[in-house]
Amino acid sequence: MKVIRTLKQVVAGALSAGATMLIAACYGPMEPGYELANGSVTVPEGTPTDYNVEVCAELAESGTQCDFVRTDGSYLINVYEGALDDAQLHGYRLCATSSSGLFIDQCVDVPPNSQITTQDFDLEFIPQE
């Protein structure tokens, strides 16, 4: 009887290990993220999420990395190692924008070799003509 029990444990262990290997093969290892910028965004009325506000880091060689602003107004931009190296070498532009088109976009240029950037934005409505 102990033979069958031991055999069941061996088969269960092999299936568990096989499932883990299958998942790792399909998705690959997780690439660690590095914090590039954080802060908050305020708007004159309501919350930034009411207007689909996002903050983007425009990098010289690694493209654009964005994060939608959360209900409390905070944002956090994480990047992979290559993008962090790009930001350290060339600097980057950090912009707060809204897809609603109601606000004036705000941008700041972050110089090369900067540490983690904390930048707060206070968006204003586009003046009515």
Question: In this predicted model, what pLDDT tens digit does every residue of 29-82 receive, in sequence order?
Answer: 555 699 999 999 999 999 999 999 999 999 999 999 999 999 999 999 999 999
pLDDT exceeds 80 at position 7: no
Question: In this predicted model, what pLDDT tens digit does every residue of 98-107 receive, in sequence order?
Answer: 999 999 999 9
- Determine the pLDDT at residue 14: 64
- CA dist 97 and 103 (Å) reads 7
Q: What count of Cα atoms within 13 Å lies in the side-chain half-sphere of residue 118?
A: 1
SS3 of residue 124 by DSSP: coil
pTM of the model: 0.74
- CA dist 69 and 72 (Å) reads 8
Q: Torsion over CA of 123, 114, 65 and 55, rounded to 10 degrees?
A: -10
Report the residue count for the chain: 129
